[in-house]
Amino acid sequence: MNHELLLGWWDTAARDLPWRRPDCTAWGVLISEIMLQQTPVSRVGPIWHEWLARWPVPSAMAASSQGEVLRMWGKLGYPRRAMRLHEAATAIARDHGDVVPSDIETLESLPGIGSYTARAVATFAYGQKCAVVDTNVRRVVARAVHGAGDAGPPSTKRDLRDVEAILPEGQEDAAVFSAALMELGALICTAKNQKCADCPLFAECAWQLAGRPAYAGPEKKVQKFAGTDRQVRGRLLDVLRGAPGPVPKMQLDVVWSDAMQREKCLVSLLSDGLVEQSHDGLFHLPGEGIVERSNDSLSPLSNEGIVEPSDGSLFPLPNERIVERSNDGLFPVPGERIVEQSDKGTS
């Protein structure tokens, strides 16, 4: 692959995205990479700016409740990503001096950080030479190098090997090349309606030279959204994000008519830690209510797999933590510290 052609195209065609600017920190890059997974750039941009303004360093996010982070996540979808970011921020602040690690192995040791995210941060934040493979990159390599219409099912080892084989020798060029390869797949070498005439690799593209053969591999499943558990979970979370405080179950019941599916989704949100239930039966985002319940009030699972309240009013919280009263009579919110005051009344 002609590196100069792709790098020259990048210089003139790359989008000016805030997480690509020289003044963006590694923390900003990490947030962008988590947000951009399964969410378009146009939706990520505004939320990314809000997050960096509110939490400019990992320790700032670590000091916030998980509920606050979920609320700020808004409608980006797949909210467990927000929880993973909060967990990663806590680990970075506690174990790494509030600085995002630069090596792949340490990055992968952070909660919720997988191989792709670790490689992306190492490359785009620290300029390291390593293969970064997403759907766009796989498509470009499949066409330009292998002459196939699409990449087919992913294979981590094969995909990394393919990209490593075409990286430039120099570390700086390799980091920019990785970004350019990804950008080419996002803007030009798209899954449909390719802009081949505008592609810098047009003259040497193996797919073009082969006559643009149609993809002959297994069909990709199209993910639907309407009527799925994802939609129901999203609506339940929308209620809690928009509420000033904990809400009664009847307020959640109105968001979806299928009671069986709605209850199943509520239980899954409780199990995932995305929703919590207080001792008085109200529901809230994690860290935004106090749970105080004796062990004998927990409910068993029913034969149908739906949680049945023991007293007809409460859903048990999976992996529930009983909060103990501190010496000064306060109940700390999970993840928060109680600051002891000195005799002079200052803390």
With cut-offs at 50, 70 and 90, classify the pLDDT of residue 319.
very low
In the chain, CATH 1.10.340.30 covers: 3-209
Q: Which residues are catalytic?
A: 33
Architecture of domain 3-209: Orthogonal Bundle (1.10)
Which residues, other chains included, contact 46 with Cβ-Cβ below 8 Å and sequence gap of 6+? Answer: none
> pLDDT tens digits, residue range 254-309?
999 999 999 999 999 999 999 999 888 899 999 887 544 334 433 333 333 333 34
> pLDDT tens digits, residue range 34-44?
999 989 999 99
Burial of 260 (0-12, 13-18, 19+ CB in 10 A): exposed
* Interior angle at CA 146, CA 141 and CA 147, nearest 5: 105
Amino acid at 307: V
Share of the chain above pLDDT 70, in %: 83
* Residue 184 pLDDT exceeds 70: yes
* Residue 329 pLDDT exceeds 60: no
| pLDDT (mean) for 298-324 | 39
